């Protein structure tokens, strides 16, 4: 097949990719998408109970006033089908679908130095030559399948939460083995427990789980947002990323034990899952303050879960609350009071293999009809390193990032000109609100592309010095946060052997945005343009 020309290739038709297509509609854009529909995260993660943990009035696009006025969310925290429906509505309303090549993931990118053009090769054999590539590949999109031997021998079905089938999966009458107790596991297990005969949950590390507080959206709340949308969106960009949290100004140490208890009790029942982390100003920076919040949640778990041994296993003690992404559940701890649910600790006796009948830990073999893996993602870097990306001088991104990702402002990589990432390594990512911050990054990127066109530049590249300076900024922010004390997808330690440091920018979205803007105002500091 011959090659074709475009101005820009966008990889991924998730929320950022869709907006990038709209924002750059005056260019010839081709978008490649691995799935057969739009929505990215909300296309793939269709497991039972999948639901967003940020209010939908906020977790939605702000780029078009008519869109945000006309769309109605049925619940405070939308379920996956509503989010997917919204992505489809946006694709149709703004005429984006025609530019997307579905079921056609990008397999190879190669930069041609003579022409300053990228050659993009896809699975279906498309070959597009373009000036710029925008990787809107998502930070939680490459599923993690631990390399247990024997997978092919298991005679039942194996599911991964991030590759859930579109057809209804019914576990009625089945013995189900469920691996993983992060955000996905916590949402899926209470629903599967209601269907299955037996549900055996394999936990390596317990999670902190807040009750979701989801309910039908009330009209006055919706009306309030819709009359103040512009202001609300502004607040979101000027906050930690989520505006519906009361950011406390006082330390946990400044309260009496009774006052602390009252504040935490209120946070536990609040409408935002993240309120516990901001109940005091120092929960994420002071270990003692954090311990007080952990103690509060441990007491909640012990009060909900009847069996004392199970309750102890469910109490996270090896990392600070907030160190891993706080989870939001619906009856998660209560589920362990059911007769048909069992919790198995695979920290003390790890899973060693899958077998024909089920799986084996170092202790014993378990028999199942189906196995569900909620084992998370090769986060932040996985979606990029799974593509064969060759930059200048034939250097590959895989090789460049073998000891961990390096970027300038989370957006570009030295040696890989004209390749932009949205939610790339060392951006705020899930530490902000992904749709709004994604929109912001798309606008920042599009402004650069338009400026290059105006000034007749054909190439932009980050410098190695700028990458090092950005790594220092990222580390300096992480060193002030207790987030560094947990093994999680934020630092790649959820996957054995994955190298690199902290991969998320925790200096707050406002500072991130300010530094990105400043770099452009200072004559593209940290970039070289030709």
Three-state DSSP at 121 gives strand
Rounded distance between C-alpha atoms, residue 479 and residue 44, angstroms: 34
Which residues, other chains included, contact 414 with Cβ-Cβ below 8 Å and sequence gap of 6+? 406, 408, 461, 462, 463, 464, 466, 467
Candidates 180-188, 221-229, 260-268, 315-323; binding stretch for ligand N01 (CB under 6 A) = 180-188
Rounded distance between C-alpha atoms, residue 502 and residue 405, angstroms: 9
Q: Are 245 and 278 in contact (CB under 8 A)?
A: yes
Candidates 98-106, 184-192, 287-295, 390-398; binding stretch for ligand N01 (CB under 6 A) = 184-192
Residue 184 contacts ligand N01 per CB under 6 A: yes
Identified binder of ligand N01 from the candidate list 325, 400, 408, 423, rule CB under 6 A: 325
Rounded distance between C-alpha atoms, residue 160 and residue 184, angstroms: 10
Task: Find the shortest distance in angstroms from Cβ 24 to ligand N01.
Answer: 27
Task: Find the shortest distance in angstroms from Cβ 426 to ligand N01.
Answer: 16
For the record, the structure tokens of 58 come out as 């906020």
# of chain residues touching ligand N01 (CB under 6 A): 27
Helix axes 287-304, 257-268, angle to 10 degrees: 60
Rounded distance between C-alpha atoms, residue 161 and residue 329, angstroms: 16
Residue 323 contacts ligand N01 per CB under 6 A: no
Residue 372 contacts ligand N01 per CB under 6 A: no
Residue 36, burial from CB neighbour count under 10 angstroms (0-12, 13-18, 19+): exposed
- What is the DSSP annotation of 298-345? HHHHHHH-SSHHHHHHHS--SS-TTTSPPEEESSHHHHTTSTTEEEEE
What x-and-dash track marks residues 141-160 binding ligand N01 by CB under 6 A? Answer: -----x--------------
Choose between 180 and 358: whose C-beta lies nearer to ligand N01.
180
Identified binder of ligand N01 from the candidate list 39, 185, 410, 438, rule CB under 6 A: 185
Q: Are 431 and 505 in contact (CB under 8 A)?
A: yes
Task: Find the shortest distance in angstroms from Cβ 242 to ligand N01.
Answer: 12
Identified binder of ligand N01 from the candidate list 179, 293, 359, 432, rule CB under 6 A: 179
Candidates 63-71, 129-137, 375-383, 419-427; binding stretch for ligand N01 (CB under 6 A) = 375-383
Choose between 143 and 508: whose C-beta lies nearer to ligand N01.
143
Candidates 27-35, 263-271, 307-315, 373-381; binding stretch for ligand N01 (CB under 6 A) = 373-381
Candidates 50-58, 91-99, 241-249, 384-392; binding stretch for ligand N01 (CB under 6 A) = 50-58
Identified binder of ligand N01 from the candidate list 9, 30, 374, 477, rule CB under 6 A: 374
Identified binder of ligand N01 from the candidate list 14, 39, 180, 331, rule CB under 6 A: 180
Q: What are phi and psi of 135, to 5 degrees?
A: -90, 100
Residue 181 contacts ligand N01 per CB under 6 A: yes
Residue 35 contacts ligand N01 per CB under 6 A: no
Which residues, other chains included, contact 103 with Cβ-Cβ below 8 Å and sequence gap of 6+? 33, 34, 35, 36, 124
Choose between 125 and 497: whose C-beta lies nearer to ligand N01.
497
Residue 214 contacts ligand N01 per CB under 6 A: no
**CA nearest to 328, candidates 51, 43, 59, 84:** 51
Rounded distance between C-alpha atoms, residue 214 and residue 71, angstroms: 19
Task: Find the shortest distance in angstroms from Cβ 139 to ligand N01.
Answer: 8
Q: Which residues 407-446 are close enough to bind ligand N01 by CB under 6 A? A: 430
Three-state DSSP at 58 gives coil
Rounded distance between C-alpha atoms, residue 315 and residue 333, angstroms: 10
Identified binder of ligand N01 from the candidate list 21, 130, 140, 387, rule CB under 6 A: 140
Residue 328 contacts ligand N01 per CB under 6 A: yes
Choose between 204 and 423: whose C-beta lies nearer to ligand N01.
204
Bridge partners, residue 127, by sequence: 121
Q: Which residue is nearest to ligand N01 (CB)?
A: 182
Candidates 6-14, 353-361, 368-376, 476-484; binding stretch for ligand N01 (CB under 6 A) = 368-376
> From residue 46, how far is each of 105, 188, 201, 302 by CA, in Å?
20, 10, 20, 31
Task: Find the shortest distance in angstroms from Cβ 439 to ligand N01.
Answer: 18
Identified binder of ligand N01 from the candidate list 9, 16, 24, 53, rule CB under 6 A: 53
Residue 375 contacts ligand N01 per CB under 6 A: yes
Bridge partners, residue 216, by sequence: 75
Q: Are 427 and 507 in contact (CB under 8 A)?
A: no
Q: Are 410 and 526 in contact (CB under 8 A)?
A: no
Q: Are 222 and 198 in contact (CB under 8 A)?
A: no
Location of structure tokens 């441990």 = 298
Residue 183 contacts ligand N01 per CB under 6 A: yes
What x-and-dash track marks residues 477-506 binding ligand N01 by CB under 6 A? Answer: ------------x----x------------
Identified binder of ligand N01 from the candidate list 205, 406, 407, 436, rule CB under 6 A: 205
Choose between 424 and 526: whose C-beta lies nearer to ligand N01.
424
Q: List residues near ligand N01 by CB under 6 A.
A: 51-53, 140, 146, 161, 179-185, 187, 204-205, 325, 328, 346, 351, 374-377, 430, 489, 494
């Amino acid at each position: 097949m011959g090659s074709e020309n475009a101005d820009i290739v966008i990889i991924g038709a998730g929320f950022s990719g869709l907006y990038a297509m709209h924002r750059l509609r005056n260019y010839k854009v081709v978008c490649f998408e691995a799935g057969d529909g739009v929505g990215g995260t909300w296309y793939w993660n269709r497991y039972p109970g999948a639901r967003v943990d940020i209010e939908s009035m906020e977790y939605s696009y702000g780029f078009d006033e008519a869109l945000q006025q006309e769309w109605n969310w049925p619940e405070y925290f939308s379920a996956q089908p509503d989010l997917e429906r919204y992505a489809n509505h946006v694709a149709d309303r703004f005429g984006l679908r025609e530019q997307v090549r579905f079921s056609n993931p990008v397999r190879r990118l190669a930069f041609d130095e003579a022409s300053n053009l990228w050659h993009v090769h896809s699975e279906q054999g498309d070959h597009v030559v373009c000036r710029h590539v925008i990787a809107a590949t998502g930070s939680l999109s490459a599923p993690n399948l631990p390399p247990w031997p024997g997978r092919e021998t298991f005679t039942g079905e194996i599911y991964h939460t991030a590759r859930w089938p579109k057809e209804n999966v019914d576990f009625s009458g089945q013995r189900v083995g469920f691996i993983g107790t992060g955000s996905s596991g916590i949402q899926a297990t209470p629903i599967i427990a209601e269907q299955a005969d037996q549900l055996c949950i394999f936990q390596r590390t317990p999670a902190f789980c807040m009750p979701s507080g989801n309910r039908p959206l009330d009209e006055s709340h919706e009306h309030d947002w819709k009359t103040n949308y512009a202001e609300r969106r502004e607040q979101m960009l000027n906050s930690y990323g989520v505006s519906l949290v009361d950011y406390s100004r006082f330390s946990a140490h400044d309260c009496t034990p009774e006052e602390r208890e009252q504040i935490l009790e209120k946070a536990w029942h609040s409408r935002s899952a993240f309120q516990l982390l901001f109940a005091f100003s120092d929960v994420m920076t002071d270990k003692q303050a954090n311990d007080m919040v952990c103690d509060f949640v441990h007491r909640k778990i012990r009060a909900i879960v009847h069996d004392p041994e199970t309750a102890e296993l469910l109490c996270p003690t090896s990392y600070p609350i907030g160190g891993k992404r706080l989870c939001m559940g619906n009856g998660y701890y209560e589920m362990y009071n059911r007769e048909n649910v069992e919790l198995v600790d695979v920290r003390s006796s790890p899973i060693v293999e899958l077998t024909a009948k089920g799986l084996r830990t170092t202790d014993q073999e378990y028999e199942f009809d189906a196995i569900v893996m909620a084992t998370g993602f090769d986060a932040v870097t996985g979606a990029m390193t799974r593509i064969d990306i060759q930059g200048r001088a034939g250097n590959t991104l895989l090789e460049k990032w073998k000891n961990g990702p390096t970027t300038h402002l989370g957006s570009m990589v030295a040696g890989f000109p004209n390749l932009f990432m949205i939610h790339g390594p060392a951006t705020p990512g899930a530490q902000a609100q992904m749709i709004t911050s994604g929109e912001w990054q798309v606008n920042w990127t599009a402004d650069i592309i338009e400026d290059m066109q105006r000034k007749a530049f054909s190439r932009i590249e980050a410098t190695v010095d700028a990458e090092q300076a950005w790594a220092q900024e990222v580390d300096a922010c992480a060193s002030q946060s207790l987030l560094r004390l947990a093994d999680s997808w934020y630092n790649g330690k959820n996957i054995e052997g994955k190298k690199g440091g902290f991969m998320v920018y925790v200096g707050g979205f406002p500072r991130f945005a300010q530094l990105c803007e400043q770099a452009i105002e200072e004559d593209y500091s940290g970039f070289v343009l030709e």
